[in-house]
Amino acid sequence: MSKTTLRFKLLDIFYVVMMIVPIVFGIVLQVLTKPASEGVSITGARIFFTLKMPIQDFPVTESQINSALVLVTLLFFCLYMTHGLTAHIKLRRQHFAELIVEKVDGLVNENMGEYFIGFSPFIIAIMALSALSSLLSLCGLFPPTSDINIVGGWAILVFVIITYYKMKCGLLNYFKGFAEPVALLAPINFISEFATPISMAFRHYGNVLSGTVISVLIGTALGGLSTMLLGWLPGFLADIPFLQVGIPAVLSIYFDVFSGCLQAFIFAMLTMMYVSGAFDIDTYKARKAKKLSKTK
């Protein structure tokens, strides 16, 4: 084996290990810091420590730590997928990487138009970050998408992008949009403008959180039902929650896997819809042509 091949394989192993290490770190941190509880326990993100700030203290929470772990995992996943890419495909992972790029480019082109084709990295980043954040619950970790502060931050970022593209057609055109179709609707349009990030955040957060709550409640109820119906079994068998075996796992497939990935897709679709809908490309081109004509 040549030194180049050995170095390539070692780097591959390093990337794979670094994809796993953040999740393992999160699990260890969860085991070491989470206090013991009895019965049903549904709480928000725990606060690990608080940083003193001049205006307001900054709490570092479980959702922030887990979000950082997800970002590190995604970083090394991208490094692994792009390691060794060549003009002529030599690695099987390159097929998968190119398939992702083609599908996302097609999705963006279909929903936003060719002008926004550069949005593909942003859209796949949103979907990957949201989906993996929701899937952390499979590892027993607090999913950041169950924290309104995390999802609200994403929604505010999308809102800033929406406003930017609205203003690309001119500041006057932006404010005129509040008076359409009639000036009397300006207050409603103004409220609707700022309701966009709120609705995006609460839709995503509410669906993920409700799934987590339902799973915990059903799992706890099955444990109690198992004790009530099978408590007559002899010895240690009476303490085994037989009804908790299998059913919570099936529910987890829906609430944690399917619903989490679905909400990631919906958030990305809403982002594409709002951003492309906020940008009138004909008005923008006319304004740009007018500026060019003045400079000549």
pLDDT in tens, 175-213: 877 777 777 777 888 888 888 889 889 888 888 877 777
Dihedral of CA atoms 118, 120, 122, 124 in degrees, nearest 10, equals -170
Q: Which residues contact 155 (CB under 8 A, 6 or more apart)?
A: 196, 197, 198, 200, 201, 204
Task: Return the higher-pLDDT residue of 172 and 10.
Answer: 10
pLDDT, mean of residues 239-252: 65
Q: Which residues contact 268 (CB under 8 A, 6 or more apart)?
A: 123, 126, 127, 130
Mean pLDDT, all residues of the chain: 83
User: DSSP letters of 8-38?
Assistant: HHHHHHHHHHHHHHHHHHHHHHHHHHSPP--
Single-letter amino acid code for the residue at 31: V
Mutual angle of helices 92-112 and 120-135, in 10-degree steps: 110
Q: Would you call 295 helix, strand, or coil by DSSP?
A: helix
Q: Would you call 140 helix, strand, or coil by DSSP?
A: coil
Per DSSP, the chain holds a count of helices (H) and strands (E) of 10, 2
What pTM was estimated for this model as a whole?
0.83
Q: Which residues contact 211 (CB under 8 A, 6 or more apart)?
A: 254, 255, 256, 259, 260
